[in-house]
Amino acid sequence: MRWFHKDLKSTLSALLTVSTLAPPTAEDQAEKLDELRREMLALAVLTETNRSELLARRIRYAV
Listed by start position, the domains of the chain span: 24-63
Burial of 59 (0-12, 13-18, 19+ CB in 10 A): middle
63, pLDDT greater than 80: no
Model pTM?
Answer: 0.56
Indicate the pLDDT class of residue 3, thresholds 50, 70 and 90. low
- Give 36's pLDDT tier (boundaries 50, 70, 90): very high
Check whether 30 has a pLDDT greater than 90.
yes
- Which residues, including other chains, have CB under 8 Å from residue 59's CB and lie 6 or more apart? 37, 40, 41, 44
